Each structure stands twice: as structure tokens, then as C-alpha cells.
A and B are shown apart, each in its own frame.
Chain A
Amino acid sequence: MTLNTADFRQRALTNARYTADLIPQNAIVAGVARSPHPHARIKNINTAGALAIPGVLAVLTAEDFEGIRLGHNDSDEPVLTTVARYVGDEIAAVAARDQQSLLRGIEALQIEYEILPHAITIDDALDLPTSIHDSCTDNITDRFQAARGDWYEIESQVDIWVDNTFETAAVPHAYLEPRAAVVHVKDDCLELVCGSHAPSMMADHYRPIVASWGSQLEIHTPAMGGSFGAKWQHSTHLICLLFAHRLQQDVAIVLSRRDDMIAGRTRAAMRFKMRIGATATGKLLAKETMLWSDNGAYSLHGPAVMRAATFRADSLYRFAATRSEGQLIYTNNIPSECFRGLGITQSTFAQEQLIDELAKRLNIDPIKLRKMNTVCEGETTIHGWQVGSCGIVDCLDSISNRINQYRRNQTSATNNRYRIGYGVAAFIHCIGNRGYDQHFDRAYVKLTAMPDGRIRISSGEVELGCGTVEVLIKTVSHELAIDPQQLDVVLGDTAIGPHGMGSFASRTSFFVAFAAEDACRRFNQMAQHELLQNIEVTGIYQPDNVVVPDESGYGNISAAYTFGTHGCCVRVDSYTGKVSVEQYWAAHDAGKIVDINAAEGQVIGGVMQGLGYALTECTAVDDNGQLLNPGYLDNRVPTFADAVPVDVIFADTFENSGPAGAKTIAEQPIIPVAACVANAVHDAIGVRLNRLPINPERVWRTLNHDTNS
């Protein structure tokens, strides 16, 4: 089977158009003045010099966006700020006729700062004499606690504890297409064109703002060059919208790679203190987690990410009691945002290393220890998740088999310098989460019979390369018994609708398929008594077994759960500490696989990103909050030469609640990678790498018991 869809073909032929390809010739260009200081109050902005430059048309400052905030739950990010909270924070915006005037305009702004004490690390923030946001005096912006089971009773049964502290690094999403936005002025409507994985949600947030200016808003999403969780609300959108509204001309902004990295988003850096208790025979009993999450300067999805990281990974195993506490801390770093795997990627790095450690201490094979303790089909996990299909044991077995086979054929044995090691790590992940938003597990698909006889399928969801278009075309052509050539798909266009939550939490294809089925049912019904050209129906899907979890996160938050196990073989140069991944295996339970090519692509791509996260990526910041590596050269995302052979295995499962038995595969592949590599490194050289990235110097220092690693 191939990924043969019109959309894919257009991208493959390089005919697809991305935001920056759609800028009208005469568009006004916008740009942003960014703070060079990590924390400073803006005392004064003199815009006269900028406005005097020929070609400069207008300047916006915080006053123009009074009372407007970006963010989901804890809206705390101003569009333009009066207090700079990280290096790169947006202070003013300039609109000009051309790039050169724009550059001169931005440079001509005179901004007076009052420097404030700043915090780059979590510890600094907790000790900071000033608060980063007035509303949050101790810089702890969110706290979360969850406790399950009878802790003291269970604790008394524990024979062995393993514990450690783990630290993960902030990394940029580093999507290849830098952020861009175009606003078209169409009568009394502003049309925002930008890549986003959640256009309807953005429109919900922006519409009242644009309405207060007396204008309407539609959002149109063209092809998007990667998001991975980042391309959502952003100040550049509102800046362009307001310029377009004021100047009544089309406006465009395109960030440079450097600016995109300086003022983009990152995966939150986290510190875990975690311990796991078990019986002497290897039955897992208790897990305790304390988490500090570096929120960066603004919240965005920080609270959701922190909560997920605090406790969700527990559900993989049958713990009898858990205690978890999380804190979300403001720092003067780049704001964090969701990033493939939410916080689970971080917490799995900690949990799966502890499981590995326990296996070593108990002298039980790490695969066996996991098999003894993972949840099973039909069970309810400690956090109230009702597990439907569950292929975790299959996944563990296939990884075990692959490793054993590989090991037998392995010729390059460990020597004094190069040490070979094998590691595994497992995960659980949900599909959607009703606790986050009421729309989260609801999806809509609209079918419209067009005047020319074709059928238009529209959805507020977007195509991220996971095959959403493919799923829609397949479902509709099958249900309506119609030639796929007769179908058009429009995604993420708010003018056409319907509403769509967006591609979060690997939810899209799962929900869209069901909504499309429902739409087809309605379509066929109507077709019995209506002329074809009058038919427009919207199908809805919402799983019925899902609840809004309670305050402590308890409840069945997802219609189905996905599982997986990864394994890898590493070769560690014990002289330099350099880790090379020689072979990688990824076994996933994603339900019945609809499109094997797309599914494998997601896995291999996710593993590559995970290897970057594990080994080389980080945002390096100096004491003054200046980003030292704002580009692909120094922030080392994997290159072609770094590609590792990845063997993909899918467990043979069928999810009754899923479309055609499918679950999903999107975020999942990145989740266990860092833990898997760390476990293999431990196997190779006998020391535990509890900080990311696992770069050569850190490995070398750890190996030499240097505490500064």
C-alpha cells in the first residue's frame, strides 16, 4: 500500500505551498523588536526615530494590545510586553514597505530598560528576590499532586527501593519551516494564513480580539513544514492582524531561523526525583515522583505538560501505590510548549531507567521484569485508565527476540576501548485527553456536495504528515461508494469549518475516521430524500467511555491507549565518551495498522528526533540568558549521516473502540528513545546517565566519576 494521496503527491512534487510561498507581492512586511535582556522592565520606548524612516509605516507597542493575552489555561503571555521575561521577548513591532526599511526601523527604536534580576535555572528562580510575573510571587505558577493507594501500607511491603535524580534539557522543535504568517484583508474580514496544528482553537482565541477591533477573522492553513507541537498561538499572528487592520493592507512576517530559535518554543527542561519500590521477587509496588518543570517565561501548555509528566507514565505498570507532586516554575528562559510526547517523553526517561536499575539490582532480565508488571487488556490502571487492547507483552517479546538475534550475529565484540551495550524502554500513551479540553476527544467532519458533483470533505483538523487526508479519503470513498478521484479534502480552514481541536496528543486520525463515518451515515440518509446538490452534513464523533478526570487526574481520559517497547545497541567509545547507536528496534502497539508506510514513517521519524533529544540537542544558554546555539549548526539535530537503522515492528492488536481496529501512531515513537539509549549506555559502561543530552563529554565525566557531569 502506498501513501498515494493528492496532498502527498503535491508535496512530493514540491508543488505544495507553505505560508511564506503565499505572500502577495505588495504585502507590508512586519518585524519584531526583541529584548536583549533576560529580565527587564521597559521604562520607555521612543518610536519617533523609527517612524521617521522612509518606508516605515507603523509601530506597535504593548499599549496596542492592552489586556490581550496568549495561552491556554493560564493566559499570561502578552503580545508585546512591558516587562521582558526572556532574551528575545517581543517588545515592539514595526511594519514597513520592504525588508530594508523594516530592519532600519527596528534598529531605530529606542528602548530604555530597567534591568531586573533574572533566573536561568529552576533553582535560581526559586531563590529569585523578584517575581517574573506579578501574579506569581514565588515563581511557582502551578502545582499538582496525586496520590493513589494506601502509601504507608504498601511502603511497608517494599523490599527494595531504587531512586535517582534525572534532568532533561530544553530543546527546540526545530521544524524545518520557520514561523511565518500572512494576513489578507478581505472587506471586513481578516484572513490569517499560517501553518498550525490547531487552527480552530487559535481562531476561538483570536476571534473575540479581532472582533473588538470591529473585524472578522478566518484562518487558513496551507502546507506546514513541521510543528511537533509548537505552531499554535503566537504573538506574530496578532501583530500581523493588527497591522493589517490598521493599514488595511496585506501584511506578512517570516522569522529567520535564528529568530525562530531565539523566540520560538522549547520542550520543557525537567528535573525528577523519583523512586520505585518492589518486592524481592520483582513485583512493583510503589512509585514516588517529585517533579520541577522549567516553564520558561510564559505558560502556554506548560501546566498540561507538567501534569502529564508528573504521573501519567505510572499507568504502564501495576503499582499498588503512587505519590506524585509537580511544580511548574517560571524562569527567564524561552517559553516551553508541548512537544511530541508531551511531558511523557521526559518522565519516561526517568521511570524506564529506574526500572532498568531495579532489574539489574534484582538480577532479573529487564524485559522479564517489565512483563511481570505491565498492565493488561481489560484492567483499570492506578490512575483510572481503562485499558482496551494492549500489545505491550508482544512488543516486549519482539524486542527481546530482535536483540537476542542481533547479539548472536554481532561480530564487533566489546574491547578495551569500545564497549557494546543493549537497552530497552517501554511506554504507555493516551489518545486525546478530555481533561484538557472538552473538544479534545470530539471531532467533526463535514461533507458537502459541490455544484460540480464532487464531494468536499472538510475538517478543522490538519495534516501533519501522519496521513489524515488518507484516512478521510479512504473512509469516505468506502462508505459512500464513490471514486476517490471525486473527493476533495479541505483541512484547517476556519471559513469552511467545521471546528477541530487540532493535532494534539496523537488524536487526529483516530477521531477523524469515526467522525467521517458518522458524516457518511448522515449523508447516505439524506441522499434518500434530498437532491444530491443540497446535501451538506457534519458528522461527529465522541467516545462514550471517556470522562473528565478529577482534580488529581484520576479517570479514563482516553478512548484507547497505545503501548510500545524500544531496544537499541550502542557502542560507547570509553576514551572519549562518544555514543554511537548501531541498531535500533521499535515495537509499537498502535492497534490495527491502516497504512503501514505512514505508520513506519512516523516511527522512524520519531526515533530520529528522539535520538537527537537523547544524544546531541539542547538549548545552550549563558549566565545572561543569551542563547548560544540558535541554529542547526550548533543545536545538533540529526543529519542524514547520523541516521541509524531502525527496525519497526507492529504488535498485532485490534482496538474495539478504534476505527477499523486502529489506535494511533504519531507522538509515541519519540517517548522511550532517551531512556532506551541511557539504559544501553549503562549496559555498555556500567554508569548511569541521568542527564540529557548524553553527549560525549558528559559520558566521559560520568565514567570518570566526575561530579560536574
Chain B
Amino acid sequence: MGSSASTIRPTQLPDLELFWPTHIDELIEHIKGGAKLLAGGTDLLLQARNQGQPQKLAWIGNIESMHNFAEQDEQWQVGAGISLGKLISNAAFRRAAPAIVDAAQLVGSVQIRNQATLLGNICSASPAGDTLPALLVHEAEVETAKSHSLLLDDFLIAPGQTALAPGDILLSVSLRGLRANEISCYYRHTERKALDLAVASVAIRLSFEDDGCTIAAARIALGAVGPTAMLAKQAAESLVGQPLTKKSIANCATIAAEICNPISDFRASADYRRLLIRVLVGDVINQIEKRVQLLP
């Protein structure tokens, strides 16, 4: 242990330099000049307050094209400026992406959800970020200014780290809404009932055959049990081609618990997180079965 720092940095937001670009090119200029993209700011301002950086911010509130939120052919586009609150209060979106709404409703508090954005959640790339597993099961792709779109799974690289190139920015995320005979759900384990970070989390999307019980396709994603939210492909595949049974669910849960890669920290140990994954997979599937019964 060195004695590099003389003191603990006092918690204090530095005076920030703020820019108001009105179109994307201008925004990118600011980003190249060292500014960070400011959308909701709930993570960024905390970072600045606790670490003193960043000090330059380019706010996207005046860039209209970054506030798109619309559906076309089951694909939903969510712009960088869209708050979690906007997603939650949109009834069509709630039907199209229940897992994402489940997750969004667990982030922070009403106040925070009115400020924080879905893309902010993606950029923070926290292993415990609630919306990330849910986005993964909804086949999310992110779109950056350099105009290529990237699978979310490839975009998330490590805690706090994404594939975003220096000088590039995230414009929007697109995700696939549910089709007929599909349902999705997200659960997490926390110690408190609200205002908490996931200790482990699971999102699942199941597609049923027309018989209403055979699984046609499945996607499972896990949170807080690896450096990034991750897809559990083998676990998902194990469900396909048969109806859900106690045994198939247990088998799927076991596979998910095996392939995840949790760490131990002060919130929980690695083996406890594995256990949680096993339990949560079963719980989420049960919840999906309940939701299926509610389908029209």
C-alpha cells in the first residue's frame, strides 16, 4: 500500500463546464474536445462529485434526433435522451418489453427513473445494471454515431467498459418487442425491497409453440454474476423443444448457475451468487408461466 494520496478527496462536485449542442456533429466535436455526453446525469454527476471527473459535459437535451422513442415492425428504438420513466409509463412498451420494464422499475427511485436514461444504464456497463440482462433477452443492438450497430452483448466488455470508440457516442438502442406467444420477465435479488443494487439477477424471454406449452425459443441473461451482464445460451437451449416441467426448469437453472462467473465482494460471495441464479431462474420461469395465463 502506497501513501500516494495525501487525503481522501472531499465529496464535492467541481464547477462543471456545460455545452448545449443542437445537433450530433456539434456534440461529437465536444466529445472530441474531452467532454462527456450528459443525458440524465444520475451516474455522471455522482462520478464527478466523488472523483472530480469529468468536468466538461455536453448535454443532449437540445438534440431532437436523440429523443426518438418509437416502434416499427416490432423493433423499438429508444434514443439516448429517453428516461426510464418514459419507458415505464408507455403502455405499448410495457406490453412489448415486460422484462425491460420490470428492470427499469427497479432502478433507484421514481425520482431517479425520471432522470436516468436507458442508454445511461448501458454506458455505465455496471455488472449489476438492472436493464442490461433484460435488454439482452430482447436482442438489443446499440447504434453509435459512427453508424454501425453492435449487439449489446458485444458492446459490454467489462465493468464500466464498453466497445464505444474514443470520440464516438451512443445514439440509440433498438430492441425486439414480444411477438405472439412470447413473454419476458426480469427478477433480481436484493436485501432491501427497493433502492438497492442487484446481488444477482435473471431475465428470460420464452417463445411458445402454438400449442401454448412447448418452448419454441428461449433467451436467458444473467446479471451481477460476471464482469458484464451475460447471455446464458446453453441454459436457454436446454428448454427448447419441450414443455416446461419441474425437471427441465431445474436443469436449466443448474446450467445457468454453472456457466456464470461471479466474484465475491462485500455484497455477497461467489457461491451465494451462483445459488441465487439457480433460484432466480426458477422464479422467473414461474412468473412467466403466470404471465402466459394472463395473455389474451
Q: In whole Å, how far is A324's beta carbon from the nearest beta carbon of chain B?
A: 33
Q: Decide: A34 near B8, CB < 8 A? Known: A113-B3, A115-B1, A616-B192.
A: yes
Give the chain B neighbours of A40 by CB distance below 8 A: 3
Residues on B with C-beta less than 8 A from A638 are 192
* Least distance between B183 CB and chain A CB atoms (Å): 23
Q: Which residues of A contact B268 (CB under 8 A)?
A: 697
Tell me the bound Cα distance from A642 to B276 in angstroms: 21
Tell me how far the C-beta of B269 lies from the nearest C-beta in chain A, rounded to whole angstroms. 7
Residue of B nearest to A256 (CB): B11
**Once the chains bind, are B6 and A629 in contact (CB under 8 Å)?**
no
Can you list, as one digit per residue, whether each of B1-21 has a CB less than 8 Å from chain A (1) or not (0)?
A: 101011111111011000000
Asked whether B1 lies within 8 Å of A256 as measured between CB atoms, the reply is no
| Chain A, Cβ-Cβ closest to B7 | A33
Q: Is the CB of B275 within 8 A of A700?
A: yes
Cross-chain contact of B12 among A33, A88, A99, A632 (Cβ < 8 A): A99
Closest to B194 in A: A641
Q: Is A575 in contact with B266, judged by CB distance below 8 angstroms? A: no
Measured in the bound complex, the distance between the Cα atoms of B195 and A37 in whole Å is: 30
Residues on A with C-beta less than 8 A from B50 are: 258
Residues 17-33 of B at the A interface (beta carbon under 8 Å): none
Question: Nearest Cβ in chain B — how far from A705, in angstroms?
Answer: 14
With an 8 A cutoff between CB atoms, is B279 at the interface?
Answer: yes
B279: chain A residues within 8 A (beta carbon): 575-576
Whether B193 pairs with A639 at a CB distance below 8 angstroms is yes
Choice from B3, B11, B194, B267 contacting A642 with Cβ under 8 Å: B194
B-side interface size class: 20 to 34
Q: Which residues of B contact A109 (CB under 8 A)?
A: 6-7
Establish whether residues A256 and B12, one from each chain, have CB atoms under 8 Å apart when the complex forms: yes
Distance in angstroms between the alpha carbons of A109 and B197 in the assembled complex: 35
- Docked complex Cα distance between A20 and B105 (Å): 33
Contact bitstring B149-173, A, C-beta under 8 A = 1, else 0: 0000000000000000000000000
Does more than half of chain A's interface fall in helix, strand or loop, or is it mixed? mixed
Q: Are A620 and B7 in contact (CB under 8 A)?
A: no
Check A576 against B195 for contact (C-beta < 8 Å): no
Interface members, chain B 65-116 (any A CB < 8 Å):
none
A641 CB contacts on chain B under 8 angstroms:
192-195
Tell me whether B266 and A106 are in contact (CB under 8 A). no
Given known contacts A31-B10, A575-B279, A700 and B197 CB-to-CB distance under 8 angstroms: no
Q: Is the CB of A633 within 8 A of B196?
A: yes
Interface: B210 (CB within 8 A):
no
A100-B15 in contact given A33-B7, A576-B276, A620-B266 (Cβ < 8 Å): yes
CA distance A290 to B281 in the complex (A): 45
Q: How far is the CA of A164 from the CA of B50 in the complex (A)?
A: 43
A622 at the interface (CB under 8 A from B): yes
**Which residues of chain A (81-118) have a CB below 8 Å from chain B?**
87-88, 91-92, 99-100, 102-103, 106-107, 109-113, 115
- Please tell me if the beta carbons of B7 and A111 are within 8 angstroms of each other in the complex: yes
Instruction: Name which of B10, B197, B268, B269 has the most chain A CB atoms within 10 A of its CB.
Output: B10
A632 to B204, CA, bound (A): 30
Given contacts A576-B275, A622-B266, A634-B197, contact A100 B1 (CB under 8 A): no
Interface core residue of A88, A102, A109, A578 (most chain B CB under 10 Å): A578
The answer, among B7, B194, B196, for a CB contact under 8 Å with A106, is B7
Asked if A152 is at the interface (CB within 8 A of a chain B CB), the reply is: no
**One of B1, B6, B12 near A624 (C-beta < 8 A):** B1
The CA-CA distance from A624 to B196 in the complex, in Å, is 25
How far is A281 from B15 in the complex, measured between Cα atoms in Å?
72
A155 within 8 A of B: no
Least CB distance, A114 to chain B, in whole angstroms: 8
User: In whole angstroms, what is the CA distance A696 to B188 when docked?
Assistant: 14
Check if A695 is an interface residue, CB within 8 A of chain B. yes
**Chain B residues with CB under 8 A of A701:** 272
Docked Cα-Cα span, A111 to B50, in Å, equals 21
> Does A543 have its Cβ within 8 Å of any Cβ on chain B?
no
C-alpha gap A256/B46 in the complex (Å): 12
Contact with B along A31-72 (1 / 0, CB 8 A): 111111100100000000000000000000000000000000
Cβ-neighbour of A107 out of B9, B269, B276 (below 8 A)? B9
Q: Is there an interface contact between B194 and A112, defined as CB atoms closer than 8 Å?
A: no
Is the CB of B211 closer than 8 A to any CB of chain A?
A: no
Residues of B within 8 A of A112 (CB): 3
CA distance A697 to B268 in the complex (A): 7
Q: CB distance A259 to B10 under 8 Å?
A: yes
Instruction: Point out the residues of chain A lying under 8 angstroms from B267, CB to CB.
Output: 634
Contact pick for A34, options B7, B193, B272, CB 8 Å: B7
Query: How distant is the Cα of A382 from the Cα of B267 in the complex, in angstroms?
Result: 43
Contact B266 A629 (CB under 8 A): yes
Q: A258-B50, A695-B191 are known contacts. Are A636 and B196 too (CB-CB below 8 A)?
A: yes
- Contacting residues, chain A, for B269 (C-beta < 8 A): 697
Residue of B nearest to A92 (CB): B7
Instruction: Provide the bound-state CA to CA distance between A109 and B9, in Å.
Output: 11
CB distance from A30 to the nearest CB of B (A): 11
Residue of A nearest to B8 (CB): A34
Q: A79 in the interface, Cβ–Cβ < 8 Å?
A: no
Task: Select B197's contact among A88, A100, A633, beta carbons within 8 Å.
Answer: A633
Of B15, B50, B193, B197, which is in contact with the most chain A CB atoms at under 10 Å from its CB? B193
CA distance A106 to B6 in the complex (A): 9
Is the C-beta of A395 less than 8 angstroms from some C-beta in chain B?
no
A670 close to chain B: CB less than 8 A? no
Q: Smallest Cβ distance from A235 to chain B, in angstroms?
A: 15
Q: Is A262 an interface residue (CB 8 A)?
A: yes
Chain A window 616-636, contacts with chain B (Cβ cutoff 8 Å), 1 for yes, 0 for no = 100010101000110011101
Whether A639 pairs with B194 at a CB distance below 8 angstroms is yes
**What 1/0 flags go to B251-269 for Cβ under 8 Å of A?**
0000000000000001111
- Minimum Cβ distance to chain A for residue B48 (Å): 12
Contact with A along B190-211 (1 / 0, CB 8 A): 0111111100000000000000
Q: Which of A262, A634, A697 neighbours the largest number of chain B CB atoms within 10 Å of its CB?
A: A697
- What A residues does B194 contact at CB under 8 A? 639-642
Name the distance in Å between B8's Cβ and chain A's nearest Cβ. Answer: 4
Which one, A32, A99, A615, A622, contacts B191 given CB within 8 A? A615
A36 near B7 with CB under 8 A, answer: yes
Kindly report which residue of chain B lies nearest to residue A91, judged by CB atoms.
B7
In contact, B195 and A639 (Cβ under 8 angstroms)? yes
* Contact digits for A665-709, partner B, Cβ 8 Å, 1 yes 0 no: 000000000000000000000000000000111001100000000
A633/B195 in contact, CB under 8 A: yes
Least CB separation from B276: chain A residue: A576
Closest beta carbon of chain B to A59's beta carbon, Å: 12
Residue of A nearest to B6 (CB): A111
Contact of B191 with A636 in the complex, beta carbons under 8 Å: yes
Kindly report which residue of chain B lies nearest to residue A697, judged by CB atoms.
B272
Complex interface: chain A residues within 8 A of B1 (CB): 37, 115, 624
Contacts of A258 in B (CB 8 A): 11, 50
A110: which B residues are within 8 A, CB to CB? 6
- Indicate if the CB atoms of A616 and B12 lie closer than 8 Å: no
Q: By the criterion CB–CB under 8 Å, are A639 and B192 in contact? A: yes
Across-interface contacts of A639 in B (CB, < 8 A): 192-195
Q: How far is the CB of A336 from chain B (nearest CB, A)?
A: 20
Q: Which residues of A contact B266 (CB under 8 A)?
A: 620, 622, 628-629
CB-contact partner of B5 in A36, A257, A622, under 8 A: A36
Contacts of B276 in A (CB 8 A): 576
Shortest Cβ distance from residue A627 to the other chain B in the assembled complex, whole angstroms = 10
User: In the complex the two chains form, is B3's CB within 8 Å of A106's CB?
Assistant: no
A-B contact pairs, 25 of them (CB 8 A): A34-B7, A35-B7, A36-B7, A36-B8, A37-B1, A87-B8, A103-B10, A103-B12, A111-B7, A256-B11, A576-B276, A578-B189, A616-B192, A628-B266, A632-B195, A633-B195, A633-B197, A634-B197, A638-B192, A639-B193, A639-B195, A642-B192, A697-B268, A700-B275, A701-B272
Given A36-B3, A258-B11, A576-B189, 4 additional A-B pairs, CB 8 A: A36-B8, A106-B10, A576-B279, A634-B197
A-B pairs, top 10 by smallest CB distance, nearest first, are: A256-B11, A641-B193, A641-B194, A33-B7, A111-B6, A620-B266, A258-B11, A113-B3, A34-B8, A697-B272
